[in-house]
Structures are given as structure tokens and as C-alpha cells.
Amino acid sequence: MELGSCCSSNLWIRAVRIATLIGACVAHSSEARTAAAQPLTERETLNAALFLAGRDAAAVPIVLASEAPAGGANGIQGWTTRGRDGRGERVFLLTTSPAFQCAMHMKDNFQCRLKLASVIVHEVWHFKHGSNEAEAYGAQLMFLIGHNAALEDIVDVRASRAQAVAAQKKAVDAARRVAK
């Protein structure tokens, strides 16, 4: 059956884009090739990463941000805000981060979507459990390893974990010295 004959062109292009998101094989029409060549929208990119990150991540309020927060760490890809009660309020993903841009523009690259999904897993851990960087990076690493991530992504996350844990320890030690 020729899908183009029963569906509007826009609907066909959207169906092809959705199929591409989930890695399905698509027809070889010129419309399909055009849709496959276009980068994903920010929302489509988020949805593709959420699909990989799982049900827990989909239940958390996530905001797409084009700018990092003031005072944010160099290389920030996401962050979590907390309410006055200390509970997670929102997770933010930086749409200009390398992970997000890779997942958006290189949609055929599963590793890009996996890396972005791992950032979501990391931030969802913070949202649900608090500010412990070692544990959040632990969840991220387990996710990457469990999904057969590229070794370079695992090594990068381990290096980021070491940096973040050292910075967190330094901040705690400084706060203790001030409190004395």
C-alpha cells in the first residue's frame, strides 16, 4: 500500500521522523529521505532520550533551557532545582550542550541519544535523592554500562565524576572550616 496516497504529506513526514526516532526502517521515497535528513526538534530529541532513560525519568518535570544557570560549572549539561522543602522541583537540560546537540543533529547515532539519556538519569537521581554527586554519577555510569555505551562516554563520565566529587568534598571541607 502506498502510504503517500492515503496520508497528507505532513503526516507522512511526521511518521517517518517518529520511525527514525525509534530506529525503524523507513521507505526510500524522496519525502522519507528529506525527513530523515532534517535534525530533530528539541522536543523530539528530549522524547527520544526519555524513551531510553525509562519510566522514572518520564515522570519528572523536565525543562529545556538554552542557557546555563549563572555560576554553573564549565561543561554543564543539566541541573536540578530544589524547593524550600529540599525536594526536587525541576530538571533542566541545556539544549546547547554537546550531548543534546549531538542527539538532535546526529539522530542516527544511538550513542548520542544514549549519552543524553544518561544525563537525564543523572539529573533524575538528584531530583529524587539529593545532591550527592558520587551517587548520581554512579547511577549514570550503571545506565551507560547497562546499555552498552561507547567506552569513551564511560571514561568521560568517570572523569567528570572524579572532578565533581573532588569539588563537592572541597566545598564541604571549606564549609566545615568556616563553621568552626
Task: Please identify which residue in the block is written with the cell numbers 521515497.
Answer: 29
User: What stretches of 94-150 show up as alpha helix (H) in DSSP?
Assistant: 98-105, 110-129, 133-146
Pairing of the two strands 88-94 and 78-82? antiparallel
> pLDDT by residue (tens digit) across 19-69?
545 454 444 455 544 455 577 899 999 999 999 999 999 999 999 999 999
Q: Average model confidence (pLDDT) for the chain?
A: 84
Based on the number of CB atoms within 10 Å of its own CB, is 48 exposed (0-12), middle (13-18) or buried (19 or more)? Answer: buried
Q: Is the pLDDT of residue 12 over 70?
A: no
Q: Which triple of cell numbers denotes residue 37?
A: 535528513
pTM of the entire predicted model:
0.77
> Residue 63: which residues within 8 A CB-CB, separation 6 or more?
90, 91, 92, 93
User: Which residues is 82 bridged to in the sheet?
Assistant: 88
Delimit the domains of the chain by residue range. 1-38, 39-179
pLDDT at 79: 97
Q: Residue 100: which pLDDT band, with cuts at 50, 70 and 90?
A: very high
User: What is the percent of the chain where pLDDT is above 90?
Assistant: 64
Residues 6+ apart with CB under 8 A from 179: none
Residue 15 has pLDDT above 70, yes or no: no
CA-to-CA distance for 137 and 134, rounded, in angstroms? 5
State the average pLDDT over residues 135-150: 97
Q: What is the pLDDT of residue 35?
A: 52
pLDDT confidence of residue 41? 94
147: pLDDT confidence band, cut at 50, 70 and 90?
A: very high
The CA–CA distances, whole Å, from 74 to 123, 142, 163, 164 equal 16, 24, 11, 11
